[in-house]
Amino acid sequence: MSPARAETTKRPLVVHLSWQAPAQCPAEDAVRAPVERALEREVFGPRSKADRVIYVVLSPKAFQAGKPSHYRAVLEVETPGGARRGRRELVSDGNDCAELREPLALVLSLMVDAELNQAGRAAEPDAVGNEPASAAPPQPSPAAPRRPVSSPPREATDGTTPSLAFQLGAGARLGSGYLPKTAGAAGVQLGFGLVGAAGFIQARPGLAYWFPQESVQDGRGGRFRGWSFLGELCAGRGPFEICPGVERLELTGEPVGLDFGGSSDLVASYARVQLAWAPRVASWLGVQLAVHVGVPLQRARFVYENATQSSVLVHETPDLATGLGLGVFFPLAP
């Protein structure tokens, strides 16, 4: 046995199974067990140790008289970094979702077996003659026959070549250093870039609306609202990411209880960095928890002149901006 093959034996491929199904469909354990019996080994493990992630989503496909007439199962294989490696889809013949249990086990066995074989080939020595001449070529497991199923994998890459990735996100955040007091905002963000086995890099432009807020003292002050325009470059591996970027804040300030002065448009800009934890909870959905800090490159000031023509400062963005955000994102197919 070569050192490469011995190493493969010591550390077999670990697959994490992400299962999403309604109550009337097969449970995860009902499919996992026959897969491991067919492959004659334990293959499934926690996400923290996984070399591959397989998302399984079962859902109604069509309805008749308000009840499901068919069910669909979608299986997608990805690397922990998010690179898609294959996709299969099954549809039930009738309205019983439980009938998908055996086809699911078979297709899942084929998908896992393909990943095991690819991992084994990657570990083989490249030079001819490193293996004994009498060594028999590896044979496929008889318990997992290779026969066509519902559809071939959409991708047949080995996961090392970066691929295009897109996503659409939406969320809310609390920010300090933008409006006079801690304020809330809602926004959307688009992401596009490359993802591979080593991680990902994405450009993410975004837009957020800051909800109106008043800053009043002794019955006088201002009312503020505004928009933020954001540009980030995010890089990471798995669910963790770091995003340096810039943000432009355009505020509208209106006097409150003042006889002098009028509405003012205020502009501020920030250099910022964001740290985020963004795990995928399904093949089509992820959640994001983020914190950011920014320093002003340009400050916004709202000033009015009183009856004595002296300037009174109502609001000026401070030396530091911070924020906490929570949102969701939807990976989009290239």
Give Dmax (Cα) for the chain: 102
State residue 128's pLDDT score: 45
State residue 290's pLDDT score: 97
DSSP 149: -
State residue 323's pLDDT score: 96
Q: Tell me if residue 156 falls in helix, strand or coil.
A: coil
State residue 58's pLDDT score: 86
Q: Tell me if residue 98 falls in helix, strand or coil.
A: helix
Q: Is 54 left (phi over 0), alpha (psi -120 to 50) or beta?
A: beta
Q: How is domain 163-332 classified at the architecture level of CATH?
A: Beta Barrel (2.40)
- CATH 3.40.718.10 given to domain 3-123: no
CB atoms within 10 A of CB 302: 25
State residue 116's pLDDT score: 83
**Do residues 150 and 72 make contact, with C-beta atoms less than 8 angstroms apart?**
no
> What residue ranges do the domains of the chain occupy?
3-123, 163-332
Q: What does residue 74 show for φ and ψ, rounded to 5 degrees? A: -115, 125
Entry pTM: 0.55
Q: Tell me if residue 283 falls in helix, strand or coil.
A: coil
Per-block mean pLDDT, blocks of 10 residues, the chain (334 long) = 45 85 87 88 86 88 68 87 84 84 89 83 54 48 44 42 86 94 95 85 96 80 89 92 96 74 74 94 90 94 69 84 96 70
Tell me the C-alpha distance between 291 and 275, whole Å: 6
- Residue recorded with tokens 């084994």: 120
Residue 186's DSSP bridge partners are: 172, 209
Residue 225's DSSP bridge partners are: 252
Tell me the C-alpha distance between 214 and 255, whole Å: 10
Non-local CB neighbours of 32 within 8 Å, separated by 6+ positions: 17, 44
Q: What does residue 133 show for φ and ψ, rounded to 5 degrees? A: -65, -25
Rg of the Cα atoms in the chain: 28
* DSSP alpha helix (H) spans, the chain: 3-10, 28-39, 101-123
Burial class (CB in 10 A: 0-12, 13-18, 19+), 289: middle
